[in-house]
Structure formats: structure tokens, C-alpha cells
Amino acid sequence: MYKTNRRAFVAGASAAAILSGTRAAFAQKKYDDGASDTEIKIGHTNPYSGPASSYGVIGKLHQAYWKAVNERGGINGRKINFITYDDGYSPPKTVEMVRKLVEEDKVLCTFNTLGTPCNTAIHKYMNQKKVPQLYVATGASKWGDPQHFPWTMGYQPDYQTEAVIYAKHILANIKNAKIAVLMQNDDYGKDYFEGFKKGLGKDVGQIVKHATYETTDPTVDSQVIQLKDSGANVFFNISIPKFAAQAIRKAADIGWKPTQYLNNVSSSVAATMKPAGFDNCQGIITSLYLMDSTDHQWDANEDMKGWREFMAKNMPGANIADGGYIYAYSVSYLMEQTLKHCGDNLTRANLMKQAASFNKFRVPMLLPGISVSTSASDFYPIQAVQLARFKGESWDLFGDIMHAESS
Amino acid sequence: MEQFLEQLASGLANGAIYACVALALVMIYVSTDHLNFAQGEMAMFSTYISWQLMQWGLNFWVAFLGAVAISFVMGVLIERVILRPLHNAPVLSVVVVFIGLLAICNSMAGAIWSYLIKEYPSPFPKSSFGIAGVIGPHQLGVVLITLIVLSLLFAFFRFTPLGLAMRAAAQNPQMARLVGVRVDWMLALGWGLAAAIGAVAGIMVAHIVYLDPNMMGGILLYAFAAALVGGIGNPGGAVVGGFIVGVLENMVAYTGNQIEKLTGVYIIGNGEKLTVALIIVIFVLTLKPAGLFGRVVVKRV
Amino acid sequence: MRAFPRKWLAVLIALSIVIPLLHPVLPDLVSNYRLFLVSTMIIASIAVLGLNLLTGFNGQISLGHSAFYAVGAYTAAILMDKLDCPYYLTLPAAAILSFIVGYLFGLPALRLEGHYLALATFALALSVPQILKYKWLEGLTGGVQGIVLSKPEVPFGLPLTEDQWLYYYCLIVMLILYWAAANILKSRSGRAMMAIRDYHIAADTMGIDTSLYKTVTFGISAAYTGIAGALSASAIAFVAPDSFSFFLSIKFLIGLVVGGVGSLTGSVIGGIFYVLVDNSAQALSTFVKNELGLQFDLSAYTVFGILLIVLMYLMPMGIAGGLFAVIRRLRRS
């Protein structure tokens, strides 16, 4: 009973503060659930167990990042209470965990919740509850829809935009292209493929073969053989690192030499290109927006040095070849800045407002020239990528930075 | 035609992987009467051990033997420490323990070696030969190793007293005990052997699917199917079952492709190949309920 | 089968009806989230009961109950999404469809025993997500994207929150289904089911139509699990093929064994365990790391594995079996 009374008292007090805040200019502090003078609560879900557990590194970096922020003194004097739960990449579990975060833990917002199906399952709920669902960790194109879902925002360039860029590049550079597509049979693969078809427009007939695989398939050998048999001279590879590496190697093994386009998801040198064999990877084209820690061209870069320092200090023993750490670092930084911009006005509405007011904002680990821009009508923070061709043992960036406006 | 041959070869190569893991499953079944859900994860763990040994500078075959030996000891220990107290528990309870083991192996490997995929070397020469392009040297090597392991197992069970004692202990523990077989140790030995075979399988597979803590997830499903098709208690059947599942699956996808090419209508493709292959397998099983190579056990009331 | 004491059962049911009404008085203790959590436990316990009817009382193993769960969930989702069918009407539809699928599946299963039945049901579990993604069904199932739904609305203007209503809705369904199961098991048919489990050949010679009983049991078991699936579609308000993987079957199996094979009480415990185990494993792993200062990163998945093994070690007959054993020992002393 005591607890209830105290809560009621606090609620009353903060309500009073809000009332007086509207009247008096000096009382600027405003709080929603999850924020106070001393603390800001942020929620997060991530698979740490089960088949998708390789994404667990993202959650681990977040934990280390917020711990480091707190050791520096927090944000505007407030400590970050980062609460992360395991959802095992299962949408029903995500619903359960996110409801716990919002209703029990009373977080100010969720941040970087991972997975397209998992985020789809909580999309409606978060918007009904009016709790910010910020910088979700999926590249699906549906996260930037402020008209219908004003409380949800993506982070990385969406898959469709990326696929459109490849399609345009193929049309501009390869005459009489015959395209073969390998696609993971889920929403991630589908999103890329839809974007790709859209990008080809009236030339969609150039796709001569489309083969899918399941993540439970041991290998994609059979699919690559089918693709080769179609006589295609262009290969668009929509697969996660393990299968991308298999496909690249199998194509070389059976003597199929198309022009290869590889989705950004598998652009990691350590996770895809090295296992596939550098010899087999020469000339592959992908698009990048983040730096790669195993790519020596960034060794002298200030961002990269800062990141390495952070990793050495806060996550000793972690495998720094894993691209997940770079991704998580950059998105954590953006979240930290968003909270900083909120100042003492830590309401959910203001948080969304601040998240939607970045203008050419530089976030570390993004490629030089790529920045974060958002507005009330633009909920896609990063929309630029740069094409790169694999040469030797690293990616060779070429051409301009491309800004494709997502439809 | 070229595609047909390539699909066939790739099916055989995949089949060899399933066969290898299926052998380990059969091994446990023959010696302990249990289906081990954790077999795949144990094999994955053994593969990491061999990888670690290589990182420490050992030669491939030394690491191979080292990992197989360590796995054998681990297998024996698991039986003696974890399963021993559960000898009288219902089968389903033991299955749950296996699932627990699976979770532990998987997460420990991830914690120790991280989830990033690693390339794993192949011990076989990279030179190309007559049928290069259709089947790679590593794939051929896997088929070979699988057959060698199978013959060794066959010889062990058929011609050694220890093999006989192990079979006796699994089939009729009370009787075996009466004639002086140390049944408990036979069970532990079975686990050790299964873990060792699993290590061989894992090491062979890792070059093809790359080394990561989840590498066995998909393969174990196929290996189960393979082991059951061949009649769960029959090592030779498991190997044949592995090849059947591997080839059948590719042929389903191939046929679906040809149909689509000829008629322009999509009926079956890569998404459905496993499903269709399994349906065919089950259909065959309903006609031959003891598996293709299993013997029908006559029940007495 | 040991029956739960009637007096206690009545008290429990009364409590489960009254406590949620305290939500306006004790909003923190009886929170919407907790009611939702209990609802998911109820749903899980219905699914586990379905599996128990088949495995525990009829002796047929199944690794494919995620498939029936998916059939139920998708039936409900498609009816609500495409035909604007009210949510409560989806339950009978899901039950009937799951029953048919289960019954049909039970026919070839008659020829298969033990491990082969495991293989067949396992194949079913693997194929259902694929079928949901199948090209020609995409229009209906939403393919890989799944279907987003709305939560059940409170009827008749009752002064309840959405989660309170969801809870009562699940509770009512559960009580009816458990009551029905208890009655089936007590009847002649129930005794026949168990006779088949224990002495198959003897049951056959005594004139029990074992084929009929086995296939119908398969159908009923599938129907129970299908109803649970339909309830979950309402509760989660989202269905996608990824939610119904083989691992779901494994989780039902864990719920069944940990709760207690062949025990109605065990199914309830299994359902609760099914939801709680993940959360407690995670809490335990954080606790070990933060409070005990363990340097090594003990992940929740490891803790989960250890929990399962320790549980089976302590109570090989499941929690229900263990509890009854303890109670018996207490009574005797």
C-alpha cells in the first residue's frame, strides 16, 4: 500500500510540476514515464538465444555503451538505465517483453529493437501507447511512415532504397543484362526483391531466375546451380553472410562468372568475403554506409581510432571483426545525442521531435560524406550509400554518394 | 543435363554431410536407445575445439585427432555425470535433458568463440581432376571419410568382443549384466564413440557450411530424417538414408524448375523442397514402417 | 491419474475470477501487463494440454504441435482479417479445421510408431511455415510479412480493460476445455485411450477400435492446440510464419514434460513454466553477472539449459509428479 501512495504522490507532484511549468518560464523540467531528475530509462529487445543469437553482439555493445556514458556522468546529469531483454527473435515474445518494458519498467522509449517480424508485432502497440520506438534495427521500408506511425523511426538505409540503387547501376552499366537473384525467403529478402523489381521498372523482364533459400538449409549449392543454369550474366545476392559466402564460393567452384551484386547485410569483410575466399570475391559490387573494422583503409580514420579505443576499454576480448559492434556503436551515439538534445524536456513527444530534427548530422563510423537527416515528414535517418567494388582484400569505394529518396 | 548432373553431385555431397551426422545419432541410439537432440551442438563444439587447437599452431590432422579424442572423453563424461542419475527416468524426460544440453553447448560456444562465422580449412588437396566442376575435392573427401567411419564401425560391432558387449548392453541390459557385461560403462562408451563420430562429422561439415555456433541447427534436422529413413538402429542404413535425403531434396527442386521452365507455372521450388522430400520419405515409411533397412521387431505380449 | 482435490480446485477458480477485478484498486499489483502474461500462460497451458492428451494419455509422440497451433492461429487471423469475422467465432472454426488436419494426419500416423511417428510429426512442423509462405497462398496468409490484427474489444460495454477482458476470455475457454478433457478422460473413451497407451495389443483384443481411437485422439489433440493458436492470434494481434517454427513444438514438449506427462494439473504447470522459464533464466543470468560478480558471461540460454537438466534431475516425473510425491510423503509422516 505504501508503494501505491508514494507513486500517487510522485505522480501528483510531477503533474503539479507540469502545470507550474506551463505557467512559469523558469521551471523547464518536463518528464514522461521513464525520465526523472536522476535517471532516463530506455528499453531494448534483442535475440541473445536461439538461431538468431549472432545478433546478440548488438545488445552487448549497447550495454557497454550506456555503461560508459554513465561513467562519464550520464546525459545532462541523468544516468541511463538501459534495460535489455531476450526475445529469441520470436514475435510473440517480443510483444511480451516490450509490454513489460513499457508497462512494468515504464521506459521512456524503446531503442534499436531488433528484427523485422519482431518490430512489426509491436508497431501498432507502441503507436497506440504513444511510446517512441526509436531507431529500430531492421532495414525494412515500413519504418519511415510518420503519417500513420508517428512514434516509430528506422535507422539504417532501407533495403528497398538500396536495391533500387543496384537496379539503376545494372541498367546503366550492363547491356542485355540477364539477372539471377538468390533471396532469403523471409520479409528481409522480400523487401530487397520488391525494391529491386521496382528499380528495374519496365526492364523487370531481365530477371531470368529467382531462387530462394530457407535459413534452415545447410547449403545454397543447389540454388546456385539453378541460377547458373539460367544463363544469367548478373547475380544479385540477397543473403546473410553465411549463405552469401557459400554462394560466392559455389559460383566460383562451378565456373559461373557473372557480375555480382551483394546486399549490404553481407558486406562484412570478415564474415563474408574472407570465408568466401578473396580470389572468388574480386569485382563484387555492394553499397556501404558504415566503415568496416577489418578494412585497412580506415586505420588512420579518427572515428575508427575512437571506436577501437572504446572497444579496447569497454569490451576487452570481443571479436572486433564483427560488424555488429560498429553498427551498434553508431546507433547508440545517435540515441545519446537525441537524448542530449532533449535537454530537460524529457517527454515522449519532445523525444520524437528531437529525433526528427537532425540536419546533416555527423554520426561516427558512417562513411565520410554520409550523415543523418530527419524531419517531421522524413523518418529515414540514413538514406545515403556509396557503391563499392571488392579489390584485393577490401572494398574500393567508387562514384558519388547516392541519395535515393525512398518512396 | 549438365544441371541434372550438378544437382545430383551436390545432392550426394550434401547427403554425405547428413550421413556423417546421422551416423553419430545412430551410434547413440544403438548403444543407449535414445535419440540425442544435442548431437549436432556437441559436434559443433568439438569442431570449435579442433579449430582452437589449430589456432594454437597444430597441424590439421593432429588437431583432428586431438578433437576426436577430447570429444570422446567429453561424451563419456556427459553420460557418467549428467545422464547416469536419469537411467530410470522416462524417455521424454531424457529428451528434455538433451534439449538442455543443446542450449548449453550452443550458448557456451557463442560465449567462448563469438558468433562470427569462421572459415575452416579443408584437409584435401585443392587440385582439380576429371569431374571438377561437378563435385569438389572436399565433397569427395567427405564421402570417402564417411564410408571409412562406417566400415570401422561395422568392423567394431561385428568383430570385436567390446562391440558385441555394447550391442548386448543396449538390447537387453539385465541379461547382459548377468553374463558379466558392465552395462553402465558400455553406455558411457557408446556416448564417447558417438561424440567422437560427431566430431569427425563436424570437422568435415565445417569447411562447407563455415564454422559458427548455429551451423548444425539445419543439418541436424536433415540428419534426423536420414537416420530414420535408414532405420534408426542401422549405421549402414543411416549413410544410405543421408544420401537419399540429400539427392531427393535436390531432385525435387530440379523437377520443380524443369516444370516451371516447360509450362511456366510455379508449382514447387526451393521453398518446398524439404517438405516434399519429407512427404516422399513418410509415404515410403508408411509402406515400410520399420525404415528401409530396419528389421521389424516382433512384439510379444 | 490423481485428481486434484475438488475443494482446492473451487478455491483456485474463484480466486482466478476475483483477483483480476482488483485491477482498479491495485493497479500495480494486478497490472494489465501481468494479466496479459497470465493470459499467455493460459494459452500455453491449453496447447500443452492438447499435446498431453495425445502423448500423455494416448502414448503417441508428436513433435508437430507447432503446426496445429499455426493452423489455429492462421485460421483465426484470416477469418478476422479477410472476412471481418468476430474474434469469438474464430475459435470454433479453428477447432474444426485443426481437428480435420489432425485427424487426417492421424491416419498415416497409424502405420508409424515411436521414432517414425516422431519423424512424421517433425516433418509436419517443418513444412507448415513453408506452406504459409507458399507462393499461391500468399494472398491469404500474407506470406512472409504475416498478418497484423486488432486485439479483442470489450463486449457489452463492460467496465473492463482490454487485458482484463482478454484474460477472462482465455480463462473461460480454458475452463471449458479442461472440464471437457477431464470428462473425456473419466469416460469409457478415456479409459480406452489410456488402455491403448499402456497395453496396445491387449486393448485391441478386448475389442477397442484402436485405429479409430488413435486418429480421433489425434484430431482432438490438434483441436485443443489449434484453439490455443487462435487465442494467441487474438492476444498477440500478429501472426507470421517465423512464430511457428519447430522450436515452438520443442517448447510445448518441454512444457509437457516439465509440467507432468499424463496429468491435467501438469499441463497447467507446464503452461506457466513455458512462459516463466525464459524470463527467469534471463533474470538469473543477470543476477549472477551483476550481484555475484561473475566475470564469465553466463548467457540466459546457458541458464535455461542448466535449469532444464536440474529440473529433470530433481523431478524426472515433472513438477506435478514431484509435487504429488512430496504431498504424499507429508501426509504419511
The ipTM (two decimal places) reads 0.86
What's the pLDDT at C120?
83
What's the pLDDT at A2?
39
Q: Count up the domains in chain A and report the number.
A: 2
What's the pLDDT at A9?
42
What's the pLDDT at C12?
85
* CB A221 within 8 Å of CB B136: no
Q: Is B231 exposed, middle or buried (0-12, 13-18, 19+ CB in 10 A)?
A: buried
Mean pLDDT of chain A: 87
Residues A181 and A280 in one domain: yes
Does residue A4 have a pLDDT over 50? Answer: no
Helix (H, G, I), strand (E, B) or coil at A286: strand
Does residue A12 have a pLDDT over 60? Answer: no
With both helix axes pointing from N to C terminus, report the angle between C188-198 and C162-186 in degrees, rounded to the nearest 10.
80
Does residue C149 have a pLDDT over 80? Answer: yes
> Would you tell me how many other CB atoms lie within 10 Å of the CB of residue A371?
18
Spatial distance between the Cα atoms of A316 and B279, rounded to a whole number of angstroms: 49
Which position has the higher pLDDT, B107 or A20? B107
Q: What is the DSSP pairing of strand A234-238 with strand A39-46?
A: unpaired
What's the pLDDT at B45?
95
Residue A5 within a domain: no
Task: Give me the percent of chain B exceeding a pLDDT of 90.
Answer: 20
Does residue A137 have a pLDDT over 80? Answer: yes
Q: Is A376 exposed, middle or buried (0-12, 13-18, 19+ CB in 10 A)?
A: exposed
Chain A (48-77) residues lying within 8 Å, Cβ to Cβ, of chain B: 49, 51, 53-54, 56-57
Q: Which three cell numbers stand for residue A77?
A: 546529469
Residues A148 and A115 in one domain: yes
Order the strands of the A384-391 sheet from edge to edge.
A207-213, A179-184, A234-238, A259-262, A285-288, A384-391, A394-403
**Quick check: C26 contacting A, CB < 8 Å?**
yes
Q: Which residues pair with A395 in a beta bridge?
A: A390
pLDDT tens-place string over residues A56-86: 889 999 999 999 999 999 898 899 999 999 8
Residues A129 and A41 in one domain: yes
* CB C239 within 8 Å of CB C233: yes
Does residue C278 have a pLDDT over 80? Answer: no
What's the pLDDT at B30?
80
Residues A308 and A279 in one domain: no
pLDDT band at A19 (very low <50, low <70, confident <90, very high): very low
Q: What are phi and psi of A257, to 5 degrees?
A: -125, 65
Residue A219 within a domain: yes
Q: What are phi and psi of A283, to 5 degrees?
A: 90, -5
Spatial distance between the Cα atoms of B51 and B37, rounded to a whole number of angstroms: 23
Question: Looking at chain A, which residue has its C-alpha nearest residue B134?
Answer: A254
Q: What is the mean pLDDT of residues B245-265?
A: 84
Does residue C217 have a pLDDT over 90? Answer: yes
Instruction: Choose the closest CB to A185 out of B11, B209, B271.
Output: B271
Which residues in A lie closer than 8 A to residue C240 (C-beta atoms)?
Answer: 91, 117, 120-121, 187
What's the pLDDT at A5?
43
pLDDT band at A18 (very low <50, low <70, confident <90, very high): very low
Does residue B59 have a pLDDT over 80? Answer: yes
Q: What is the DSSP pairing of strand A79-86 with strand C238-239?
A: unpaired
Does residue A8 have a pLDDT over 80? Answer: no
Residue A207 within a domain: yes
* Cβ-Cβ contacts under 8 Å for B292 (sequence gap 6 or more): B229, B230, B231, B237, B240, B241, B244, B284
- Whether B286 sits inside 8 A of C296 (CB atoms) is no
* CB C141 within 8 Å of CB C147: yes
Q: Which three cell numbers stand for residue B237?
A: 542404413
Q: Is C41 exposed, middle or buried (0-12, 13-18, 19+ CB in 10 A)?
A: buried
Q: Which residues of B93-103 are buried (b: 16+ CB within 10 A; e: fewer)?
A: bbbbbbbbbbb
pLDDT tens-place string over residues C296-325: 667 778 888 888 888 888 888 888 888 888
pLDDT band at A149 (very low <50, low <70, confident <90, very high): very high
What's the pLDDT at B4?
85
Euclidean distance between the first and the last CA atom of chain A, given in angstroms as a whole number? 53
Mutation for A interface: C242, C252, C284, most A CBs within 10 A: C242
Q: Which helix (H) or strand (E) holds C161?
A: none
Instruction: Choose the closest CB to B228 out of C119, C199, C257.
Output: C119
Q: Which helix (H) or strand (E) holds A368?
A: none
What's the pLDDT at A50?
73
- Whether B115 sits inside 8 A of A53 (CB atoms) is yes
Instruction: Choose the closest CB to A93 out of C130, C278, C301.
Output: C278
What's the pLDDT at B298?
58
Q: What are phi and psi of A365, to 5 degrees?
A: 80, -10
Residue A14 within a domain: no
Does residue A102 have a pLDDT over 60? Answer: yes
Nearest to B112 by CA among B62, B193, B55: B55
Residue A281 within a domain: yes
Residues A246 and A393 in one domain: yes
Instruction: Choose the closest CB to C144 out of A3, A4, A186.
Output: A186
* Cβ-Cβ contacts under 8 Å for A141 (sequence gap 6 or more): A158, A159, A160, A161, A191, A195, A406
Residue A3 within a domain: no
Q: Count up the domains in chain C and report the number.
A: 1
**Quick check: C314 contacting B, CB < 8 Å?**
no
* CB A85 within 8 Å of CB A118: no
* CATH number for the domain that contains residue A256: 3.40.50.2300
Does residue A305 have a pLDDT over 90? Answer: yes
CA distance B129 to chain C (A): 38
Residues A369 and A271 in one domain: no
Q: Domains in chain B, please, with CATH?
A: 2-121+134-287 (1.10.3470)
Which position has the higher pLDDT, B141 or A66? A66
Residue A77 DSSP one-character state: T
Residue A264 within a domain: yes
Nearest to A182 by CA among A261, A127, A253: A261
pLDDT band at B129 (very low <50, low <70, confident <90, very high): low
Lowest mean pLDDT among A77-86, A276-285, B264-273, C59-68: B264-273
| DSSP helix, strand, coil percent of chain A (3-state; round to 5) | 45, 20, 35
Q: Which three cell numbers stand for residue A257?
A: 562468372
**Quick check: C131 contacting B, CB < 8 Å?**
yes
How many alpha carbons lie under 13 Å from residue A1 in its C-beta half-sphere? Answer: 0
pLDDT band at A178 (very low <50, low <70, confident <90, very high): very high
- Whether A53 sits inside 8 A of B106 (CB atoms) is yes
Residue C193 within a domain: yes
For cell 509450362, the residue is B263
What's the pLDDT at A27?
46
For cell 494416448, the residue is C58
Domain span holding position C206: 10-245
pLDDT tens-place string over residues C152-197: 888 877 788 888 899 999 999 999 999 999 999 989 888 888 888 8
Does residue C245 have a pLDDT over 80? Answer: yes
Three-state secondary structure readout of B138-204: HHHHHHHHHHHHHHHHHHHHHHCHHHHHHHHHHHCHHHHHHCCCCHHHHHHHHHHHHHHHHHHHHHH
**How far is CA A74 from its chain centroid?**
24
Domain span holding position A200: 159-288+387-403
With both helix axes pointing from N to C terminus, report the angle between C188-198 and C210-236 in degrees, rounded to the nearest 10.
100
Task: Give me the percent of chain A exceeding a pLDDT of 70.
Answer: 92
Which position has the higher pLDDT, B1 or B193? B193
Spatial distance between the Cα atoms of A137 and A327, rounded to a whole number of angstroms: 9
Does residue B295 have a pLDDT over 70? Answer: no
> Would you tell me how many other CB atoms lie within 10 Å of the CB of residue C112?
19
Q: What is the DSSP pairing of strand C238-239 with strand C147-148?
A: antiparallel
Residues A175 and A212 in one domain: yes
Amino acid at B76: V
Q: Which helix (H) or strand (E) holds B61?
A: helix B60-77
> Would you tell me how many other CB atoms lie within 10 Å of the CB of residue B174?
7
Helices (H) and strands (E) in chain C, counts: 14, 2
pLDDT tens-place string over residues B161-175: 988 888 888 778 888
Q: What is the mean pLDDT of residues B275-279?
A: 78
Q: E strands within A62-120? A: 79-86, 109-111
What's the pLDDT at C1?
43
* CB A248 within 8 Å of CB A280: yes
Residues A139 and A229 in one domain: no
Q: Which helix (H) or strand (E) holds A202?
A: none
- Whether B270 sits inside 8 A of A223 (CB atoms) is yes
Nearest to B96 by CA among A86, A362, C108, C259: C259
Residues A194 and A275 in one domain: yes
- Whether A117 sits inside 8 A of C237 (CB atoms) is no
* Cβ-Cβ contacts under 8 Å for C149 (sequence gap 6 or more): C77, C80, C81, C233, C234, C237, C238, C239
Q: What is the mean pLDDT of residues B46-63?
A: 94
* CB A333 within 8 Å of CB A364: yes
Mean pLDDT of chain C: 86
What's the pLDDT at B290?
66
- Whether C238 sits inside 8 A of A120 (CB atoms) is yes
Does residue B247 have a pLDDT over 70? Answer: yes
Does residue B274 have a pLDDT over 80? Answer: no
Which position has the higher pLDDT, A122 or B87? A122
Mutation for A interface: B210, B211, B261, most A CBs within 10 A: B210
- Whether A54 sits inside 8 A of B6 (CB atoms) is no
pLDDT band at C281 (very low <50, low <70, confident <90, very high): confident
Residue A272 DSSP one-character state: I
Q: What is the mean pLDDT of residues B19-38?
A: 85
**How far is CA C247 from its chain centroid?**
14
- DSSP-assigned letters across all residues of C274-333: HHHHHHHHHHHHHHHHHTS---S---HHHHHHHHHHHHHHH-TTHHHHHHHHHHHHHHH-
Which position has the higher pLDDT, A233 or C122? A233
Task: Give me the percent of chain C exceeding a pLDDT of 90.
Answer: 30
Residue C286 within a domain: no
Q: Which of A177-181, B149-153, C302-306 has the highest average model confidence (pLDDT)?
A: A177-181
Spatial distance between the Cα atoms of A163 and A151, rounded to a whole number of angstroms: 26
Spatial distance between the Cα atoms of B66 and B44, rounded to a whole number of angstroms: 15
* CB B240 within 8 Å of CB B23: no
Helix (H, G, I), strand (E, B) or coil at A403: strand
What's the pLDDT at A232?
92
A interface residues, C as partner, C-beta within 8 Å? 3-4, 7, 48-51, 53, 56, 85-86, 88-93, 95-96, 99-100, 103-104, 117, 120-121, 123-125, 185-187, 189-190, 214, 216
Question: Looking at chain B, which residue has its C-alpha nearest residue C118?
Answer: B228
Nearest to C243 by CA among C144, C333, C114: C144
Does residue B33 have a pLDDT over 80? Answer: no
What's the pLDDT at C148?
87
What's the pLDDT at C4?
61
Q: What is the mean pLDDT of residues A212-230?
A: 88
